[in-house]
Amino acid sequence: MTGAFLAGLVAGYGVAIPVGAIAILILGLSARTSFRVGAAAALAVATADGLYAAVAALGGAGLADVIAPVAGPLRVVAAVVLLGLAGHGLWRTLSAHRSRRSPTARAGRGMSTPGRAYAALLGLTLLNPMTVLYFTALVLGRRDTADPGMLPVALFVAGVFLASASWQLVIAGGGTVVGRALTGPRGRLVTGLLSSALIAALAVAAVLPG
């Protein structure tokens, strides 16, 4: 039983630690808004990872065959969403810089509230088909986590969620520190432009072959 939980921890950190568009989004949200918003986004990512881990653990060998045919279209959808977020972030950054006010002044829009940040990051993370394929490969490769019993599955999913949540919260905390260090208009402009550029680049990379 302990092996299933430890396998979940390892799997959760394995999928969470590589820096990608999601990590950059969480970092940018925390830097521009608050730790509460960044933490909500972090927990949304952990929720999606936990859901995909549960689907993989319960779905078994047939899951990869179901996901593979739609992996390409889902990557395109994810790239479009990321480009939209990059464009929206760029517009908000430039608008806030011109008016010399904080982007958080319009705290009811976009992803500037914990609830909206959670919903947006949950949806975006669920668009990544490679996450469920990753967990499926791990589940099929380990007899203890592939056990059809509900307790091993629950322990595996709990491990994934805790690992993902802890890492994403570290990223959110780092974004808060960065945000406090760059509180001036020029600092917000630079970080906003950099965040939008990185997200747009990752969106393009998501649909490139290879």
Nearest to 52 by CA among 63, 62, 41: 63
3-state secondary structure of 209: coil
Please give the model's pTM, rounded to 2 decimal places.
0.69
What is the chain's pLDDT, residue by residue, as a tens digit (210 residues)?
A: 577 788 888 878 877 876 667 888 888 888 888 899 999 999 999 999 998 888 877 765 455 566 667 667 766 776 777 687 678 777 877 776 777 554 444 433 567 789 999 998 998 888 876 676 677 666 655 544 444 568 888 898 899 999 999 999 999 998 888 766 655 567 667 766 776 776 677 667 667 765
Nearest to 15 by CA among 50, 67, 59, 41: 50
Environment class of 190 (CB within 10 Å of its CB; exposed 0-12, middle 13-18, buried 19+): middle
Nearest to 147 by CA among 85, 13, 57: 57
